Structure 1
Amino acid sequence: MSRLPGLPFHTLMVQGTTSDAGKSTVVAALCRLLVRHGVKVAPFKPQNMALNSAVTSDGGEIGRAQALQAQAARIAPHTDMNPVLLKPSSDTGAQVIVHGKVRADMNARDYHRYKTSAMAAVLESYHRLREQYDAVLVEGAGSPAEINLRARDIANMGFAETVDCPVILVADIDRGGVFAHLVGTLDCLSDSERKRIVGFVINRFRGDISLLQPGLDWLEERTGKPVLAVLPYLHGLHLDAEDAVASTQSVRGKFRVVVPVLPRISNHTDFDALRAHPDVDLQFIGPGQPIPPADLIILPGSKNTRNDLAWLKQQGWPDAIRKHLRYGGKLIGICGGFQMLGRSVDDPHGVEGTPGSMEGLDLLAMRTELTQQKQLLQVSGRCAFIDEDASVTGYEIHMGVSAGEAMQRPAFHIDGRPEGARSADDQILGSYLHGMFDTPQAFAALLAWAGLGGVDAVDLDQLREQSLERVADATQPLFDALLKVNYRA
């Protein structure tokens, strides 16, 4: 395939000096800018470690950031866009997903040895994308300066060196130390790795750019690398987080929603629509924090249901939930949170560690058995808890089957089948459906069920589109600078 018209390379890698430097957003913005110019572009992340994931068009699982980048590129997400996904299940172990499917559970040492095989999968996906698209925009992971991870690296410079692509290095000025981050990262690289960095991007700047200019001049003189762009801090973006729970709360509305931050919380993007609604006060509650009064409590998804259930009990949440229900509050459990609501969570195959069983919260008449086969589905249907014909779309990612009389009162009708459960008094709703708040009709119906009726729904997809357009506009200077880059391998 010929090089991309207008750009001196067909593959570009975006690496960062730290995690959360803005790599995901820069890739998404560049994807949207290329699409505006009629370029067929695909995002790519060789290896991702995240508990926020999405179901792809080919029935696999990838990091949620890559699904957002695919939306920016106006294409359907595919497993080739994130061939290796690591979903941590403990501080030292993770579920390893290759080409969208679970390959194994590995500890850190075993995975390090597995990286040679993982690289083969990465290159297989990359070459398929190269054959189908004019351009591939690659996102690194963490930082290329993590010396302990350099051997067998597939996520950063190890990949860039293998496919021989240029790299831009992004640093977040908002967290401080931006010049030290950039210079220090360069110092940790080999000569060949330093040569392939074509320039720097300073992200999340706010203030008078003239006061920054002396630092930029020093940086360019010190390193011999150009500052390609200084990107602004953009407030009010509605873009899916790759992993970390947002540090800011949306304390503004009259309707109070509380979510416990489980140690292995997964897909907390389920709550993005709630966070965006002006009438909702969404609060994430961490360990040791007091549980405030609420109208609605939501138990989120979990990568390790039994361990997170044990943590929930240690924090005193069961008593708080029962008190909440006595006072008329509503409760929703999503995926792993749904499993916790039943009488027990049984793990005969040791899916989450040592085989065994744990008593649930006993709030729904059902039991869950964890299974070795992961369910991955994109779904659509109707809400079953209201008389109106409210539609819902979402996705299922879970390893487990729930059964019991509570399932006779479903939460949704999905593709012609009952899904989820509700309590007899209709105070509790549980479902495997991620993204249930993302559809405007379902959003309005769920809030009305929980006690907040008569409000305008949030259209999360529209908010994402508006945010993607904003970040693309802000990233135009970087795009223009890349057109002038003279890269030689």
Structure 2
Amino acid sequence: MKASVTLMVQGTTSDAGKSTLVTALCRWLQRQGVAVAPFKPQNMALNSAVSADGGEIGRAQAVQAQACKLPPHTDMNPVLLKPNSDIGAQVIIHGHAVGNMNAVAYHAYKPTAMQAVLASHGRLREAYRVVMVEGAGSPAEINLRQGDIANMGFAEAVDCPVILIADIDKGGVFAHLVGTLELLSESERARVRGFVINRFRGDIALLRPGLDWLEARTGKPVLGVLPYLMDFHLEAEDAIDARQPGKQGERHRVLVPVLPRISNHTDFDPLRLHPQVDLRFVGPGQPIPPADLIILPGSKSTRRDLAFLRANGWDLAIARHLRYGGKLLGICGGLQMLGRRIDDPLGLEGDAGGSDGLGLLDLHTRLEADKQLRLVSGRLSLEGAAVSGYEIHAGVSSGSALDEALVILDDGRQDGARSADGQVIGTYLHGLFEAPEACAALLRWAGVREVEHSDYRALREREIERLADLVEAHLDTDRLRALCEL
């Protein structure tokens, strides 16, 4: 095999399109028979996935692995930060938590984290022809430049070229690109080999004078302009995607309370995109309106989020919802909230202590130091529908409610619970709605009489293929091939 090449995508801002462009380039290279792997040195996100080697990585890297037609691996995201407060986060190295750190402590820890980053990158370089890297945030954050491992600090360490992407839809795209370059060092500016402009609407001829000016001003080429996609879906790295696709006819109302430390809200993407579902996120201070189904989501700080739920009066709204015959589902932290008690004696998610749950299921949860990380499959006790997903939780639950399990797993374990009246169910499984059979069974339980077929995993694959088509149609593929030394 020829020597491996590393190519990095950095953005002028968060949400500029880094994850999307890396996913597109991964599938574009994979189509050509190039052995390519995704890589993100450091990720800060509460949307995560379980890797094939039994660790935890950012959700975006799992999607990028799919674009490469590879199983996700912890080397693809060696450092994952999961915020559990405004100033602190759980630090995950090579898929496993090493502890909670505030910003000052993590800054001191960065040299150790960089060693993990370089070790993972080295292993990927040995195994793949191209390592396609995604940066984090912006490389021009002056306060974060010292000890940087996520952007130019990594690029300088491994000596790789960089593509800079900016979002024109928010305005100021030329200021973003030129301003970012101005704030880089001379050696860092030299690493930027071209620009990609993302989310453009309108006639490209009207943009041409600006592109010509940008190239003359910076001496760097514009590698292409990607169009704004009105109906595009790719799982969000962190921000909640609350867009409502256009749907016809009567729809089932599903509500998800947005908790401060909500995690893995990508669980709800299959429902948000389902033609028969009207899924709404309810924000802080908003009342919970009438609904057919309420889902309590996962949480990185379950006791704090439970207190927040009560402070907003949502516990009372949930009780009213159940009195009127509505259905209630809890996922992971949401399952724990449904029980009688949550204890965190080690202070894993905040101050050590315990909290009373909502008391809707007879179970008790204790948070333990060893996090449960599993890829699982099995069948729902609802209709025996096939289901698969992943577990990411520190809580260990016990109690009589677990005798009526929601999921019978292929490894012989049982997961989750069902109330005696069938109104309340809960599970530790993330990705619950991705399998078509499981999604249909859960919607029938929630009251949809005739469920239309919807295959979320096939939709995700179509969207990845669509991205690769955009690379061919709108980017300078000759220059891209040169950057990849193909």
Scaled to the shorter chain, the TM-score interval is: over 0.9
- Specify the alignment match of 1:238 in structure 2: 233
- Specify the alignment match of 1:192 in structure 2: 187
SS at match of 1:371: strand
Instruction: Indicate conservation of the 8 Å contact 1:251/1:281, yes or no.
Output: no
Shift of 1:291: 1.4
SS at match of 2:25: helix
The reply on whether 1:435 has 2:443 as its aligned counterpart is no
Distance 1:143 1:481, change over 3 A: farther
Aligned pairs for 1:125-144 (under 5 A) are: 125-144=120-139
1-structure distance, mates of 2:221, 2:123 = 32
SS at match of 1:370: strand
Q: Given the alignment, which residue of 49, 64, 70 partners 2:65? A: 70
Instruction: Indicate conservation of the 8 Å contact 1:33/1:479, yes or no.
Output: no
Instruction: Indicate conservation of the 8 Å contact 1:299/1:338, yes or no.
Output: yes
2-structure distance, mates of 1:114, 1:236 = 41
Aligned pairs for 1:147-162 (under 5 A) are: 147-162=142-157
- Specify the alignment match of 1:445 in structure 2: 441
Write the letter of the residue equivalent to 1:463: L
Shift of 1:481: 4.2
- Specify the alignment match of 2:52 in structure 1: 57
Q: Given the alignment, which residue of 388, 391, 394 partners 2:389? A: 394
Instruction: Indicate conservation of the 8 Å contact 1:249/1:284, yes or no.
Output: no
- Specify the alignment match of 1:482 in structure 2: 479
- Specify the alignment match of 2:105 in structure 1: 110
2-structure distance, mates of 1:208, 1:46 = 37
Distance 1:88 1:176, change over 3 A: same
Q: Given the alignment, which residue of 312, 317, 332 partners 1:315? A: 312
SS at match of 1:400: strand
Write the letter of the residue equivalent to 1:417: R
1-structure distance, mates of 2:325, 2:391 = 29
Write the letter of the residue equivalent to 1:40: A
SS at match of 1:413: strand
- Specify the alignment match of 2:469 in structure 1: 473
- Specify the alignment match of 1:269 in structure 2: 266
SS at match of 1:51: coil
The reply on whether 1:201 has 2:196 as its aligned counterpart is yes
- Specify the alignment match of 1:360 in structure 2: 357
Instruction: Indicate conservation of the 8 Å contact 1:166/1:487, yes or no.
Output: no
- CA deviations 1:312-331 (Å, max 9, x no partner) are 00010000001000111000
- Specify the alignment match of 1:32 in structure 2: 27
Write the letter of the residue equivalent to 1:2: K
Write the letter of the residue equivalent to 1:249: Q
The reply on whether 1:302 has 2:299 as its aligned counterpart is yes
- Specify the alignment match of 1:7 in structure 2: none
SS at match of 1:18: coil
The reply on whether 1:424 has 2:409 as its aligned counterpart is no
Instruction: Indicate conservation of the 8 Å contact 1:318/1:361, yes or no.
Output: yes
Distance 1:76 1:195, change over 3 A: same
1-structure distance, mates of 2:130, 2:282 = 42
Q: Given the alignment, which residue of 91, 96, 101 partners 1:101? A: 96
Which runs of 5 or more structure 2 residues have no equivalent in the other structure? none
- Specify the alignment match of 2:208 in structure 1: 213
Higher mean C-alpha displacement, 249-258 vs 141-150: 249-258
2-structure distance, mates of 1:145, 1:99 = 27
Which runs of 5 or more structure 1 residues have no equivalent in the other structure? 5-9
1-structure distance, mates of 2:384, 2:297 = 26
1-structure distance, mates of 2:481, 2:56 = 37
- Specify the alignment match of 2:282 in structure 1: 285
Instruction: Indicate conservation of the 8 Å contact 2:7/2:484, yes or no.
Output: no
2-structure distance, mates of 1:485, 1:71 = 24
Identity of aligned residues (%): 67
Shift of 1:250: 4.8
Instruction: Indicate conservation of the 8 Å contact 1:31/1:42, yes or no.
Output: yes
Instruction: Indicate conservation of the 8 Å contact 1:54/1:61, yes or no.
Output: yes
Shift of 1:235: 2.4
Write the letter of the residue equivalent to 1:461: R
Shift of 1:479: 5.4
2-structure distance, mates of 1:38, 1:453 = 45
Shift of 1:417: 1.8
Higher mean C-alpha displacement, 400-409 vs 135-144: 400-409
2-structure distance, mates of 1:341, 1:75 = 37
2-structure distance, mates of 1:298, 1:441 = 19
- CA deviations 1:417-471 (Å, max 9, x no partner) are 2210111111000110001100000000000011113112321110001000111
- CA deviations 1:101-136 (Å, max 9, x no partner) are 001100000001100000000000000000000110
1-structure distance, mates of 2:484, 2:430 = 43
- CA deviations 1:239-280 (Å, max 9, x no partner) are 211010014235745100000111000000100110111110
1-structure distance, mates of 2:379, 2:483 = 54
SS at match of 1:236: coil
- Specify the alignment match of 2:348 in structure 1: 351
Instruction: Indicate conservation of the 8 Å contact 1:250/1:283, yes or no.
Output: no
Shift of 1:486: 7.0
Higher mean C-alpha displacement, 412-421 vs 25-34: 412-421
Write the letter of the residue equivalent to 2:131: V
Aligned pairs for 1:377-388 (under 5 A) are: 377-384=374-381, 386=382, 388=383
Q: Following superposition, which runs of at least 4 residues in structure 1 exceed 6 angstroms of deviation?
A: none
1-structure distance, mates of 2:38, 2:483 = 22
Measured on the aligned residues, the alpha-carbon RMSD in Å equals: 1.4
SS at match of 1:141: coil
Instruction: Indicate conservation of the 8 Å contact 1:345/1:358, yes or no.
Output: yes
Shift of 1:408: 1.1
Shift of 1:478: 2.5
The number of equivalent residue pairs is: 481
Instruction: Indicate conservation of the 8 Å contact 1:166/1:198, yes or no.
Output: yes
2-structure distance, mates of 1:423, 1:451 = 16
Write the letter of the residue equivalent to 1:311: F
Instruction: Indicate conservation of the 8 Å contact 2:275/2:452, yes or no.
Output: no
- Specify the alignment match of 2:252 in structure 1: 255
SS at match of 1:136: strand
- Specify the alignment match of 2:458 in structure 1: 462
Distance 1:484 1:427, change over 3 A: closer
Q: Given the alignment, which residue of 7, 28, 32 partners 1:12? A: 7
Distance 1:93 1:143, change over 3 A: same
Shift of 1:3: 4.2
